[in-house]
Each structure stands twice: as structure tokens, then as C-alpha cells.
Structure 1
Amino acid sequence: MKIGRPKEVSDEHIIAIARRCFLERGGSLSAADIAREIGVSHTTLFNRFGSKQGLMLAALGAPKDIHWIEALEAGPDHRPIREQIVEIACTIAAFFEDLHAGFTVLQASGIPTEALCSGEDPEKSAPARAFRALTEWIGRAQDQKKLAQCDAQVLASTLLGVLHNRAFSNSICGEQDSDKAADARHVADVITLLWDGIKPLP
């Protein structure tokens, strides 16, 4: 049986370089320029991703996998629950910052919003799985008496909404250069604001 040659440059490497290039230089950057940066032909990019738009969507769109879903599915752990919520929220906040940066370039390039999730079952998408994982994490924390009883889905939506708005306002309101320490303080302040409503009963 004939065995095909392994790919010398992985799709993941191409996507990482393309993302950096698009974020630094914008969506008008040509596929040929990106190919030179990677050290492959632009034909290779089209063979892998179909078109420049396909490459942009792979590099800047919603990811197929979200690494922190597994951490949510494994928790909560033995640490203080407030500490865990802040940690989770900081991770999600950083995710939204990256996501919004990519979406901004895509939209500025004229790629319609519906193209971001085309060809994918919304219920099975990584963002949908992440939302379910957070809702279920909250539910388990409530079952363990670590959080007060409330609608877990509403709490998950509230937390995600606040964190997404932070990423949006950083860009729109001129705070693009906010540092990670400031973002972490903001997340901690958000949890402090919510805490009286979700802390476990004494």
C-alpha cells in the first residue's frame, strides 16, 4: 500500500503564522505574502484551506476546539470556589479578547458574520459546548453546596456576557492596550459584584 508523504508544515503552524500576520497587517495581506512568511507556496495554502477567505476563517474565526472546556468538565475541585470562578473567568476573558481581535479583522475585510459558523451545527460548535460546560460546572458547584441555588444557565450567560463586553469595550472605547493585570483586576471586581448573589448559604 502506498503511504502518502507526511505534511512538512502542519495546518496548526500555518494557522498560527497566518493569524499573527493578519492581526499585525490586516485582512488585505495577500496569501502569497503569508506563504512566504511560512516558507510554502501559496498553492499549498489554497490546497489546505480552499481560498484566502478559508484561511482567514481558520486563523481568525471561532476555534474548533476550546482548551478550557476540559478543565470545566473536570471541576469544581477542592479549592475555594470563589478562587476557581475568578480563574475560570480570567481564562474566558482572555479567550474573548483573542476572539474579538480576529472577528474585527474578518468584519473589516467584508466577510459576513454568517460565514463565521457556516457549515457547522451550532449546537455542536465549540462555543456552544463551552457554554454548556460552564453551565454544568455551575450546576455541580450548586449540588456540592459551594454556590447558592439559582438558574445556572442565567448565571453562565451573565458571566459570559460581562466578559465578552469587556473585550468589545476594550476595542471600541479605546482601551486596546489594557494589560493582563488590569484585565485580571476587572474580572476579580466582576466576581466581587456577583458574589453576594451566588455565595453559598452559611
Structure 2
Amino acid sequence: MARPRQITDEQIVRAAHEAFLEQGFGATTAEIARRAGVSEGTLFKRYASKEELFEAALGLREYGQWRQQLHSQVGLGEVRRNLESAALAILVESSSVVPKLMAMFSRGHDPSHNPLLGRLDDPVRRDAEALAAYLQAETSLGRLRPLDTEVTALTIMGALTHYIHREHMMPAQGRRAIDAGRLVRSLFDVLWPGLSP
């Protein structure tokens, strides 16, 4: 009969997550094993490669849950409120994903050296596409005026990604942070007159 596992996969992933966020892809499997309280051999019994462990530790595939929620709102509620909720959800999800992306890019920006880039499927592009699809659906229902939904989605994503960069990648040093709710409300105060039917 096999011995029960003393250390769970979740504990290994948590140790790897901490190491990769601190040291990027350069974190060694020896360091990860030490933090998890297992041998390197145990790591490789559970994860075929450092790459596989890196992907599990970053958990980037969980990003984008707001897209399905926004899609389910087509034709329901107030369009502006739906867009504001989606924008806030993007900012909340991004606050946990940005450090992970920074660790991922520590592996490099060339997909031939960083295969995870190819599997990630460009989340910012997918976000813009999801927003554009929502805007197009609401335009078709007459709940928005006719507009270039692709450019409008890029405008919204541009403001949000700039905020993410400003507040999460380059945190305030001597300047006051802008609250996410304030940003979203103000953004749609500017954009809504051009969107409303």
C-alpha cells in the first residue's frame, strides 16, 4: 500500500508561487522544494518540468471570469452599470494577475524561450474582444448608439491598462493612489455621453 502524501500539490504550488513571484523563473527547483518541505524528486514526480510547475504556480488561466459575466448581461440592466461593473472586475482580477505576469516575463518576451506566452493567448487582446462583442450586442439592440465597437473597447482597455500599470506595476512613490471606483466612474462620465443612444 502506498504511503499517503504528507505535502499536498496545493502546498507545493503555494511554495512555487512565492518563489517565482520573488525571483522570477530563475527560482530553482531546489529552493521551491525546500520551501515546500519536499525533495526535488518529489517535485518532478508531481510536475513533469519546471515549466509545468511555473504554469501551475502562476495560475494565469483563471483570469477573465468577468468576460462571461458581462456577456450574460446583454440586454439586461443598465448598459453603463454593466460596463462599470466589468471595468471594476478587470481591475480587481488584474491586481492579482500583474505580479504573476511580471514573473512570467522574467522568462523573456520571446515565445521560443517562453512557451507559456503562446499558451496564455494574449489576455489583453481577449479582454478588448470581449468588450467589443458586448458593445456590438448592445448596439444591435439599440441600447447604445451606432459606434466603432472595436475602437471603443480599445479606448476603455487603454485607460484600464494604464491604470493597472500606474497603480500595480509602478506603485505610488510620493503621489496619491487613485481609487479604482473613482477611476471607473470618471472614465464613464467622460465616455457615456458618446455611447448613450
Fold match, TM over 0.5? Answer: yes
> Partner of 1:79 in structure 2?
77
Q: Which moved more, 1:164-173 or 1:79-88?
A: 164-173
> Partner of 1:134 in structure 2?
131
CA contact (8 A) 1:73 1:137 kept: yes
Q: Cα distance, 1:21 vs. partner?
A: 4.5
Task: Tell me which amino acid in the other structure corresponds to 2:65.
Answer: H
Give 1:67-106 correspondences, 5 Å limit. 67-76=65-74, 78-106=76-104
CA contact (8 A) 1:81 1:146 kept: yes
Distance 2:47 2:177 in 1: 33
Q: Note the residue ranges of structure 2 that are not aligned, 5 or more in a row.
A: none
> Partner of 1:120 in structure 2?
119
CA contact (8 A) 2:13 2:57 kept: yes
CA contact (8 A) 1:31 1:52 kept: yes
> Partner of 1:60 in structure 2?
58
Q: Cα distance, 1:91 vs. partner?
A: 0.7
Q: Note the residue ranges of structure 1 that are not aligned, 5 or more in a row.
A: none
CA contact (8 A) 1:57 1:116 kept: no
Q: Which moved more, 1:181-190 or 1:150-159?
A: 181-190
| 1:63 alignment partner, SS class | helix
Aligned length: 189
Task: Tell me which amino acid in the other structure corresponds to 1:195.
Answer: W
